[in-house]
Structure 1
């Protein structure tokens, strides 16, 4: 048994990212699923919310962001154990939502984003990456970053030239959006977690 003032207890949390397709009138179903799989923080995309809001739902706190026509939309859901540890919320455009979570001496920036689908207006895609770069520039180098989103990309299975950010597990061929994601990861010293096993 260890005791004394040098004992450090690290808090852990479970994270998920999910493109839900449509959330209207299904918030409690979402909360039930998150509770069942024991997730503490979830990034949800394609919620089709309109505008920006925060609300409590059961023991959870939800921050929502969407455009006025009700397409797309993102949301971050935090459970009762962590909702009081959120110290900041940022919204960039109508596709990026970020929260700052303080756990002991560690700071986590959790970002939820939803990229335009392939074939949509290129200006919207450029604006998304400009907003992502702006957000990253505003973060302290010592803080941790978790991005959960639907970037509508295909990083592909080939990881040559991207070994530092791509773990080699992917599907199919890389598209232009996949290249943008990989370049963003290199620029900001991130990795594409779902390509590592």
Structure 2
């Protein structure tokens, strides 16, 4: 985070148990996290020394969602770290996740900024067919059912998938690679009205 000048980072698969916060590193970073099982899941948000004292609220939902609200100047900024159920898990688990995401979004006033950083475990694909308003047209691969859920969620809340909005080399689009398997499953979402402040994303 220091080397890449990242002020706030969303983490998934942390595998830390509990609903806690703690200082990390030697430079004043603070981590808020939630988790149930040391073997799987868990999410967190790390905030650097410049912004950790701006945090005014933290919400947690089991081991897949955590939201941190900051007040920076006149802006209220909501950062949500999300870890969607993997392909192969039951439809009821997937539905609960998206219902919980709906709950978080509905609790955020429209005049507050939202940034979602998540491992959403879905392929939105290279094509933005039917979702031109939220998909920037620079995705990867083919869309699947889980990707359809991501795009429908984004459409419902007028969110832009920021890392489909910039033309990139394939290596900067792919977020998971193992052998011959490559995919783009990690996304950064924000309100479409804030598109202008997204200068780049990979």
TM-score when normalising by structure 1? 0.81
Structure number with bigger Rg: 1
For 1:51, which of 14, 18, 29 is the aligned residue?
Answer: 18
- Within 1, Cα distance between the matches of 2:160 and 2:66? 20
- Within 2, Cα distance between the matches of 1:64 and 1:135? 16
Contact persistence 1:44–1:75 (CA under 8 A): yes
For 2:120, which of 113, 135, 151 is the aligned residue?
Answer: 151
* Alignment correspondent of 1:189: 158
- CA root-mean-square deviation: 0.9
- Count of residue pairs brought into register by the alignment: 164
**SS of residue matched to 1:148:** strand
For 1:84, which of 17, 29, 53 is the aligned residue?
Answer: 53
For 1:42, which of 9, 31, 35 is the aligned residue?
Answer: 9
- Within 2, Cα distance between the matches of 1:122 and 1:36? 40
Contact persistence 1:50–1:70 (CA under 8 A): no
**After the TM superposition, which residues 58-97 of structure 1 pair with which residues of structure 2 at under 5 Å, given as runs?**
58=26, 59-97=28-66
- Within 2, Cα distance between the matches of 1:68 and 1:174? 30
Q: Give 1:68 deviation, angstroms.
A: 3.1
For 2:84, which of 99, 112, 115 is the aligned residue?
Answer: 115
Q: Give 1:129 deviation, angstroms.
A: 0.3
- Within 1, Cα distance between the matches of 2:145 and 2:36? 25
**SS of residue matched to 1:36:** coil
Give the number of the structure whose residues are more often strand, by fraction.
2
Structure 2 residues not aligned, in runs of 5+: 167-202
* Alignment correspondent of 2:107: 138
Deviations 1:133-173 (A, max 9, x none): 01111111100100001000100011111010000001111
Structure 1 residues not aligned, in runs of 5+: 1-33
- Within 2, Cα distance between the matches of 1:49 and 1:69? 6
Structure 1 stretches of at least 4 aligned residues deviating more than 4 Å after TM superposition = none
